[in-house]
Amino acid sequence: MSYLLLKDNIRASAVCKAWREATEHVRVGEKYPWIISFPTQGTLFDLFDPLQRKMYSLNLPDIAGMNVCFSKEGWLLMRKSRFVEFFFFNPYSRELISLPNCELPFQAIAFSSAPTSGTCVLVTLNPISEYLVAISICYPGETELINMEFPCSIAFDPNMHSNLIYANGHFYCFTAGGVLFDFDPSSRTLNQQAWDEPIFPNIHNSEWIYLPKIFYLMKQKGELFLMYTYGSETPVVYKLVSSKWEEMSSALLDGLTIFASRYCSETRMNVLGMRNSVYFPKYDVHNKQCVSYSYDEGRYSPCKQKELGSVESLWIEPPPCKDV
């Protein structure tokens, strides 16, 4: 049983009691991110395990009252409120790494890897006008940002776009109208690719015109996935296959779990108890239940998700040990 993939392990466990005991004994699920919530005041930050439904507290006076911009590999990208000063911060080790000031506005921001990895690059993206995009790049240890401008053959929609994501050495951002922006930091080039609007029929459908629409861009083993939500309707998921976006049914998800956030979105495969679902960094404090959508059950949980508070929160890698 130890040689089986997790999905085959789960299928084998349904054969009989003896097989179930054997499969459960060797079953190891993939690690999943937790939620970190930023208080409106004070220095105590909530850390929530969405599967075990356990809450922890972190006393982080170093970032109290500041804005968070992005999260990756356990690191937070922070910005001092009303200031242009940015820095990396690890809430578990309390390590802080300064960055050059960023005086230009931006619509999306992301970094490629942990700032201690030696390969980290930070990128900001901002449309100056309808057909002109500004991009800034920065490396930890540098004293200033590199600012560039790129003409665009297709307009960047500043009101409806995804988060910025790093995959396969490139940064990607998706905008309304079916346009994928692709920035290569090594060659410092920006490319665009557009798809026909009917691929995303409900984005501008008059039936959903008054519902808030949000794009989430993410990756899984180097492949790009796109999800958009509108109101309380079923989240729609696409996968980029051979330069074509293909809609993913529940069967095609094959155990995929999406952890969606307007800051950054993550994916995992075959997380026990979380398969074929979308999780949002929003939870019921009293019942300790995370807002999620199950494609297998075809519903959101909890049902009264709109009644939950709008605390600023995002996904982060869990602490090295659970004794937080």
Instruction: Note the pLDDT tens digit of each residue in 68-118.
Output: 999 999 999 999 876 788 999 999 999 999 999 888 889 999 999 999 999
Q: What are the C-alpha distances in Å from 183 to residues 71, 112, 222?
A: 20, 12, 15
Same domain, 139 and 1: no
- pLDDT for res 307: 41
Same domain, 97 and 1: no
Specify whether 113 is located in the same domain as 11.
Answer: no
| CATH for 82 | 2.120.10
Residue range 305-319, pLDDT digits in tens: 544 444 689 999 999
Whole-structure pTM value = 0.86
**Closest by Cα among 124, 126, 120, 89 to 109:** 124
CB atoms near residue 228 (< 10 Å):
22
Same-domain pairing of 130 and 247: yes
- The helix, strand and coil proportions of the chain, stated in percent and rounded to the nearest 5, come to 10, 45, 45
Q: Quick check: is 321 in a domain?
A: no
Average pLDDT, the chain: 87
Q: Which of 16, 18, 22, 17 is nearest to 4 (CA)?
A: 22
* Listed residue (205, 204, 252, 202) closest to 225, CA to CA: 252
Q: Return the pLDDT at 286.
A: 79
58 within domain boundaries? yes
User: What average pLDDT does the segment 208-213 reach?
Assistant: 66
pLDDT at 260: 95
Residue 134 within a domain = yes
The count of C-alpha atoms lying within 13 angstroms of the C-alpha of 79, restricted to the half-sphere facing its C-beta, is 16
Host H or E run for residue 78:
strand 75-79
Indicate if 22 and 54 belong to the same structural domain.
no
Residue 65 lies in a domain: yes
Considering the domain boundaries, does residue 255 fall inside one?
Answer: yes
Average pLDDT over residues 199-205: 55
Rounded to the nearest angstrom, the gap between the alpha carbon of residue 13 and the centroid of all alpha carbons in its chain is: 32
- Does residue 91 lie in a domain region? yes
Task: Note the pLDDT tens digit of each residue in 112-158.
Answer: 999 999 999 999 999 998 899 999 999 998 888 999 999 998 888 88
Q: Indicate the number of domains in the chain.
A: 2
15 and 150 both lie in a single domain: no
Same domain, 16 and 98: no
- For residue 324, tell me if it sits in a domain: no
- Over range 165-181, report the average pLDDT: 91
Q: Residue 81: inside a domain, yes or no?
A: yes
Q: Are residues 242 and 173 both part of a single domain?
A: yes
Are 144 and 162 members of one domain?
A: yes
Same domain for 83 and 23: no
- Is the pLDDT assigned to residue 24 strictly greater than 80? no
Domain co-membership, 100 together with 20: no
Instruction: Kindly state whether residues 14 and 40 are assigned to the same domain.
Output: no
Structural domain including 25 reads 1-30
Identify the bridge partners of residue 257 per DSSP, sorted by sequence position. Answer: 268, 277
